[in-house]
Structure 1
Amino acid sequence: MTALHYQGLVEIGAMIASRQVSAVEVTRHQLERCQSLASLNAFITLLAERALAQAEAADRDIATGLRRSVLHGVPIALKDLYDFAGTPTTAGMPSRLDAIATANATVTQRLIDAGAVILGKTCLTEGAYAEHRAPFKTPVNPWNPDRWCGASSSGSAVGVAAGLFFAGLATETGGSIRIPSAMNGVTGFKPSWGRVSRAGIYPLAASLDHAGPIARSATDAAAVLGIIAGRDSADPTSSRRPVENYLAEANASLKGMRIGIDMAFSYAGTDPEHVSAMLAAADTLRDLGAELIAITLPNSGQIIWDWFDVCAVQNALVNGTVTAEQPGALGPALTALVARGRALQGTDYQMVINRANAFRGDFEALFADLDLVLSPAMAFSPPPNEAMENLSDDMISGIHRFTCPFTMSGHPVLSMPGGVHSDGMPINIQLIGPLYGEATLARAGMAFQKATQWHRRRPLS
């Protein structure tokens, strides 16, 4: 029997709705697990009393026949970039320890309105960039404590993998939904830029920031995305496109779906075991009825390095005042990023933007003849922690090669467990969709996971 803490989000929601178990019982169980596994450092702030109050309210609603959503009564967690009124939004920055939110982020409010139980705020790198900084702790990879836990949404991915909560709200600017999902063997759903409101989320780089869920399955991630997506007047960049029912095709066939693979893009510099996992995933998708098509992606080699310039210029707008007014308040990596942004010439920045726009247009054009693109999610297995202290260009490229191009272009991506490395660490594969192609991604991801068991592996009992 599946342990309570490893039930699927949709399943536990149904159990709460049918009163097989109460939201309070589930919440207490999760809080006890969070406390017993506190050494994983998933949380900056655990909000036990507030969570129990939300669970009690959910049980009262459900007892009267009111079910707000599939999330009603289900414990989740927020990356500590999301404003949650009355609690600090630290953004992983020591300088923001006392930055108490006075209102909820739009996503936070949508989750509350859906009846979710918010257990707390999860650990992340400083300002959602490169390094974890004291007094905040570095989350621990539950598969192997000596291996890297991933990028800025590390606490959300660690907590989902370890069964601390049923979904973690995350953000991605260069890969921070997909990288920690891959490092921890869980499912991450990066939506199209503009699909989810960014209002009330502390920014890293506005034109690159995406808000989305990390969960243990495509079904659960799609369920959360369906709740948080949609137009928001507080974020003028949010899309007016209607939000589709991402769970509607949970049992749909993939017959006739066209999925492209660029073998040169997938092979170059990639661990052979990760390539093998992708090829096995291609076989599974083919068996499910999809047609696999050889393609050539637009060149993305320069995009990885261009990403740093875009991120730097835009973060200088966010944190430039901090570096000016509080010298030494930011860590070395974030300080260097701000300095890089301030130093970049306007004409050079515009050349970067021109290249990004060209890549976006060329990539989107592929979907005239395709439904999705398949690739590895990462170039290699989670590196040893010490290898992340002084990164080489090859390491930086390997981390970002399958992520940065699609944050620069704004396309939606679903990262899912697809194998196991010989070192025992999980391997993820990813599917990339056309702009606002989240429903197609959800359909393919749910079908793949019905046919495989990789997403059911657990690092801890």
Structure 2
Amino acid sequence: MIGSSDLHYLELHELSLLIRTGKLSPVEVTEAQLARIERLDGTLHAFATVTAQLALDQAREAERELSRGECRSPLHGIPLAVKDLLHTAGVPTAAGMPIHQAFIPQEDATVVTRLREAGSVLLGKLQMTEGAFAIHHPDLPTPINPWHPGHWAGASSSGSAVATAAGLCYASIGSDTGGSIRFPCAANGLTGLKPTWGRVSRHGCFELAASLDHIGPITRSARDALFLLSTIAGHDPKDPTSLPSVCLEVPGIEDSFRGLRVGIDEAWLSDGVDPVIQQALERIMAIVRDGGGTLQRVCMPDTRAVSGNWEAHCGVQTAVAHAATYPQRAALYGPALSRLIDGGRALSGMDYQRVLLDAQRFSGELDYVLNDVDLLLAPVQPYAAPTHEQLASLALDPEANRRLIQFTAPFNVSGHPCISLPCGFTDDGLPIGCQFIAGRGGEAVLCRAGMAVQKVTDWHRRRPAGL
């Protein structure tokens, strides 16, 4: 029997086996998670809402079903949490916005439905930036990075990452419009997957920018990311933009780089990138070579235009998404989201068309590059998680903002899938993240690459001190 003090950092696939073999009960695990949330979240602020009674009811039902030999899925009985922009029937869904704090959906988002049908246990809703943009609303608490409270916990999925990193849930669901799965994973030493646009249904999800929004898993390992993606992905008649279902079989994915071609553009990887990040990428390149992969030089299409255009691209779509409440109730909005929407409303149709043409050009050029390689390697950001003071100064400098998102936002624009994973630590003990990018529909090869890295490293198994 595993002691309760050892439970909270198990990976999904490890916990699943223990539950399905009767070595742990869903109720025992859920009670331990709720106790840990109560003890730690007053400091970490990861949760917007804790659904304790619902979680216990679901855990008891899972335990009854499993005792009868009825296993719905590998997630049966496992406690998870979801970002607070996914609708949950009967549970408040505010999307980080005081204006929506009283909103209680009548039905679940498709992703939540799939998690429920898989038998998972919902611990609660996770805190996020206002409307899933860059900054938390000034009236709401900001999630705290468990590795160092003075540093950024990542962008809008910060609550999801903090909860997963601190052992307050076994995995979580986040969203990524310009980097908001990958930034928090890099800052918190986690593995996150931004799927191909449309791979996961967006039905029942608060929009930031419809053509840029992606829903995906935040986990402790690449194997877990694939584990969770295989449950939430697939076509949804309620989301006409969703892609056809695909089979993502976890046991069938080889954890090796053997035969894989990884594209490297040395000039792009060194463009304003701190030496500590470059050194971490070199370690990943060595792992690729040692694992039987090939490093192949490529010439990346210019990412400066699409990253520089990202705020305008996002702003127009955000203005449409908020048309029912903005500008009519603008006084209830925080300054960052207001500025984004105002900018979107002010952009001319001709200027927006130029943004779209740049996006189409980049997407086509990227497809061409990915015809010759299986993966591209990149940092998540050009430096480790900034301090809160450094982050505040970034908000005042458009070029600094463009630099921050230059390795993430272009792949929201193009819709290509990416996996973020730990690739080392700074001298101060802060996690560093890198990412692989694949062709559309390439989630399996991304998880294969992540598992190959994590087979020979332990960065993903290190935990914040004192928790």
TM-score band by shorter chain is over 0.9
Name the amino acid aligned to 1:383.
P
Q: Which of 299, 303, 310 is the aligned partner of 2:313?
A: 310
Any conservation in 2 of the 1:246–1:442 contact (CA below 8 Å)? no
Q: Which runs of 5+ in 2 are unaligned?
A: none
Contact kept in structure 1, 2:109 and 2:204, CA below 8 Å: yes
1:433 maps to amino acid: A
Shift of 1:397: 2.5
Which residue does 2:165 correspond to in 1?
A: 161
Alignment check: 8 A CA contact 2:137 2:333 kept: no
2:284 and 2:122 map into 1 onto residues whose CA distance is 34
Q: Which deviates further from its counterpart, 179-188 or 129-138? A: 129-138
**Helix, strand or coil: the match of 1:213?**
strand
Q: Which sits farther off after the overlay, 317-326 or 396-405?
A: 317-326
Q: Percent identity?
A: 46
Alpha-carbon distance in structure 1 between the residues aligned to 2:222 and 2:162: 17
After superposing the two structures, state which structure 1 stretch, 404-413 or 133-142, moved more: 133-142
Q: What amino acid sits opposite 1:21 in the alignment?
A: L
CA spacing shift, 1:299–1:116, aligned 2, 3 Å: same
Equivalent position SS for 1:405: helix
Task: Name the counterpart of 1:265.
Answer: 268
1:353 corresponds, among 351, 356, 359, to 356
AA in 2 matched with 1:450: K
What is the rounded CA distance, in whole Å, between the counterparts of 1:432 and 1:249 in structure 2?
21
CA contact (8 A) 1:181 1:415 kept: yes
Query: Who is 2:377 aligned against?
Result: 374
**Runs (5+) with no aligned partner, structure 1:** none
Moved over 6 A (4+): none
In 2, distance between residues paired with 1:105 and 1:249?
Answer: 29
1:23 is displaced (CA, Å) by 0.3
Choose the corresponding residue for 1:80, options 84, 94, 97: 84
Give the partner amino acid of 1:380: Y
Q: CA deviation at 1:394?
A: 4.3
Q: Could you tell me which residue of structure 1 aligns to residue 290 of structure 2?
A: 287
Pair 1:115 & 2:119 matched: yes
User: Aligned-pair distance for 1:253?
Assistant: 3.3
Structure-1 separation of matches of 2:379 and 2:433 = 7
Q: Secondary structure at the match of 1:76?
A: strand
Determine helix, strand or coil for the equivalent of 2:434: strand
Query: For residues 289 and 119 of structure 1, do their structure 2 counterparts lie closer, same or farther at Cα, with a shift above 3 Å needed?
Result: same
Q: Give TM-score, length-normalised by structure 2.
A: 0.96
Contact 1:420-1:426 at 8 Å conserved across structures: yes
Distance 1:256 1:237 in 2: 33
Cα offset, 1:185, TM superposition = 1.0
The answer to whether structure 1 residue 434 and structure 2 residue 434 are counterparts is no
**Partner deviation per Cα, 1:168-187 (whole Å, 9 max, x = no partner):** 10000000000011111100
Note the C-alpha offset of 1:457.
0.6
Tell me the CA shift for residue 223 of structure 1: 0.5
Contact residue 250 and residue 447 of structure 1 kept, 8 A: no
| Aligned equivalent of 1:243 | 246
Alpha-carbon distance, 1:249 to partner: 3.4
Quote how far apart the aligned CAs of 1:136 are.
2.2
RMSD over equivalenced CA pairs, Å:
1.2
1:456 alignment partner in structure 2:
461
CA contact (8 A) 2:97 2:137 kept: yes
SS in 1 for 2:331: coil
Q: CA deviation at 1:390?
A: 3.1
Give 1:393 deviation, angstroms: 3.1
Aligned to 1:33: 36
How much does 1:324 deviate?
2.6
1:23-422 pair list within 5 angstroms = 23-38=26-41, 39-240=43-244, 242-391=245-394, 392-422=397-427
Q: Secondary structure at the match of 2:402?
A: helix
Q: Deviations over 1:126-146 (max 9, x none)?
A: 000122124421000000001
The number of aligned residues is: 460
Deviation, structure 1 residue 379: 0.7
- The AA in structure 2 aligned to 1:337 is L
- Please say if residues 323 and 329 of structure 1, whose CA atoms lie closer than 8 Å, have aligned partners that are also in contact: no
Q: Which amino acid aligns with 1:269?
A: G
SS in 1 for 2:27: helix
Tell me the CA shift for residue 58 of structure 1: 0.7
Maintained 8 Å contact 2:330/2:338 = no
TM-score of the pair, normalised by structure 1: 0.98
Q: Structure 1 stretch 446-455 or stretch 133-142: which is displaced more?
A: 133-142
Inter-partner Cα distance in structure 2 for 1:91 and 1:130: 13
State the 1:246 CA deviation. Answer: 4.4
Q: CA deviation at 1:252?
A: 4.3
